[in-house]
Amino acid sequence: MECHGEVFVNGPIVLFDGVCKFCNGSVNFLIDHDVKKRLRFAPLQSEIAQAWLGRFRLPIDDFDTMILVENGRAYTRSAAALRIAWNLGGWWSLLAILFAIPPFLRDGAYNVLAGNRYRWFGKTDTCRVPTPDIRERFL
């Protein structure tokens, strides 16, 4: 169980760019495929995510990576993406084989997508507001 201030969270937390259309689409995908409902979510622009960023000494205004907070650690870039896939279980956990690729190569590919995500997929003016049926999964 992770604790930050008054917030206790069971399971991994995905911090994502709340105004990125690709990132929001990724969160929708994760919600649909996380059958055990283990993952929790918070936009990087939120107070909760900003507190987590501060705790791990990560930039609080540079949202070029999805972050996974799990077991007292923060994972970024490809490591976060692959650990998130592992958490989905089933066939998705097979993507863990990609950990065999050196991080500089995995992160290089991740950086290309992250650096072009607004241009390729667009940006929204505001962070997403979860629907009532998935509200409990957002911090």
pLDDT in tens, the chain (139 residues): 444 444 456 789 999 998 899 999 999 999 999 999 999 999 999 999 999 999 999 999 888 899 999 999 999 999 999 999 999 999 999 999 999 999 999 999 999 999 999 899 888 876 666 777 788 888 7
Q: Angle 15-87-136 (CA atoms, 0-180°, nearest 5)?
A: 55
Residue 113: per-residue pLDDT = 92
Predicted model pTM? 0.85
Residue 58: per-residue pLDDT = 95
Structure tokens at 58: 């990560």
CA distance 28 to 26: 5
Residue at 32: amino acid letter: D
Residue 104: per-residue pLDDT = 95
Q: By the 8 A CB rule, do 73 and 127 touch?
A: no
- Name the residue ranges covered by the structural domains of the chain: 2-125
Residue 1: per-residue pLDDT = 44
Residue 9: per-residue pLDDT = 62
| 22: helix, strand or coil | helix
Give the residue among 27, 56, 59, 31 at the shortest CA–CA distance from 43: 27
Residue 134: per-residue pLDDT = 80
Q: By the 8 A CB rule, do 4 and 52 touch?
A: yes
Residue 5: per-residue pLDDT = 45
Q: Which residue is listed with tokens 């507190």?
A: 51
In Å, how far are 86, 113, 124, 125 from 81, measured between CA atoms?
9, 12, 22, 25
Looking at domain 2-125, its CATH architecture is 3-Layer(aba) Sandwich (3.40)
